[in-house]
Amino acid sequence: MLRLSPWTKRLLCLAALLCLAPAATPRFFEFSDASFELSSEAKGVAHTGSHEERIIAALDAIRSGNMADARATVDALIAEQPNYRLAQLLRADLYAMRVMPLSTIGGGVASAPSNVLDDLRKEALVRIAHRNDKIYADRLPANIVAFAPQQKFAILIDAATSRLYVFANDNGQPKRVRDHYVTVGLLGVDKKIEGDQRSPLGVYFVTSHLPREQLDKTYGSLADLYGVGAWPISYPNELDRSQSRTGHGIWLHGSPAATYARAPQASNGCVVLTNEEMLDVAQYLQPGNTPVISVPAIKWVNAEQWQQQHNAGLALLEQWKSSWETLNTQQYLNFYSPDFRSGEGQDISTWREQKAAVNAGKTWSKVQLNDVSIFAAGPQASQMVATFNQNYRSNNLNNQMKKRLYWQQDAAGWKIVWEGNALN
């Protein structure tokens, strides 16, 4: 009599279940409570579109019970991107559903590490949440207050939704070009110290481009972590430095070859895209010029509200400039916060004394501001960063510089918390 091993017996039992079991009622309860029957022989039609559009279409097909289309879509995705882990997870679930209902994404691979499954579930939910969020389709970001003429594009990162947006300078108004899913720091955002595995929040600028060839020479096999290349940003900025925030090497970059997309929170502080999407975004990056605005959540407004904010931001800067060049010392100093720090490290008391003494020796002054940009960060766009080329002339001094002002909104209105040379 033929003796079968325990594993052989288990495999034969599973085969019998696959052949004899009645149709199951698979569901992902967090997406839908609708019941549906599975036809294992049905041949589905693969959805088309971007990889993200297709993974969402597969999830929608599962939710509606169209398992054949879901399988066809996932199989086509994996044929193109075998390292797309979320697609691989859905494939495992789809085949497990032939014999049992599933209560959650990843239920078909219960032996996988729980942290891996949690990350993939978060990715699925983040992608679906973005698709479902249609309310802002015709809105503008309050975080882009004013483009400088030479700035063709701006990058806006919404940490709450793990989304990166590209906006074009359309005659001074932001126009949405595209958006992509991104990964941020393992422990979230609001970077404070070196090694805290958080991504920074604030207004930064792309400083350079590190192509893959250069990364290979510098980092060897570790260069694969950055995928197709890296675009460093200017963290820590001037305000970060004044607040003793530390850290370096915060980049926009691609993904390792063996990983199509990473979890929503998985980096050491960088902002990470898939390689194909990083290359797409790269065409809009101008080192030394393109702002990267990272915020807890984008503040969306309608066109009328955006124009009002645009006008108000420029008017505020003009009022500051006018009080300075008319030598109205008290009015000028009222623009500064009690928490102010200058680029040279002066606090508000020292600043007041110096400005009062300087103005006492002036008979006239003229201030011209060119190439003005204003971008807003912080909760509800409560921090504004103005950058401009300043031409200052007076009876005893002529000076030109690239200056940056950080404004903070509080109960007293908008106040300057940092002023000095723009470092980039």
Please spell the DSSP secondary structure of 31-86, one letter per residue.
T--------TTPPP----S-HHHHHHHHHHHHHHT-HHHHHHHHHHHHHH-TT-HH
DSSP state of 284: T
Alpha-carbon gap, residue 286 to 176, rounded angstroms: 17
8 Å CB contact between 291 and 422: no
Alpha-carbon gap, residue 97 to 103, rounded angstroms: 10
Measured in Å, how far apart are the chain's first and last C-alpha atoms? 81
Alpha-carbon gap, residue 381 to 204, rounded angstroms: 15
The distance from CA 256 to its chain's CA centroid, rounded to whole angstroms, is 19
- Catalytic residue selected from 47, 51, 180, 253: 253
8 Å CB contact between 94 and 86: no
**Integer Rg of the chain from CA:** 27
The distance from CA 94 to its chain's CA centroid, rounded to whole angstroms, is 31
- Looking at residue 165, its amino acid is Y
Alpha-carbon gap, residue 253 to 249, rounded angstroms: 11
Alpha-carbon gap, residue 172 to 157, rounded angstroms: 20
- Looking at residue 337, its amino acid is S
Tell me which H or E stretch contains 355: helix 348-360
Is 253 one of the catalytic residues? yes
- Looking at residue 315, its amino acid is A
Which residue's entry shows tokens 């078909």?
Answer: 108
Tell me which H or E stretch contains 179: strand 173-181
Which residue's entry shows tokens 């300087």?
Answer: 358
Please spell the DSSP secondary structure of 359-399, one letter per residue.
HHT-S-EEEEEEEEEEEEESGGG-EEEEEEEEEEEESS-EE
- At a CB cut-off of 8 Å and minimum separation 6, what does 249 contact? 232, 269, 270
- At a CB cut-off of 8 Å and minimum separation 6, what does 137 contact? none
SS3 107: helix
- Catalytic residue selected from 51, 130, 180, 270: 270
Catalytic residues: 253, 270
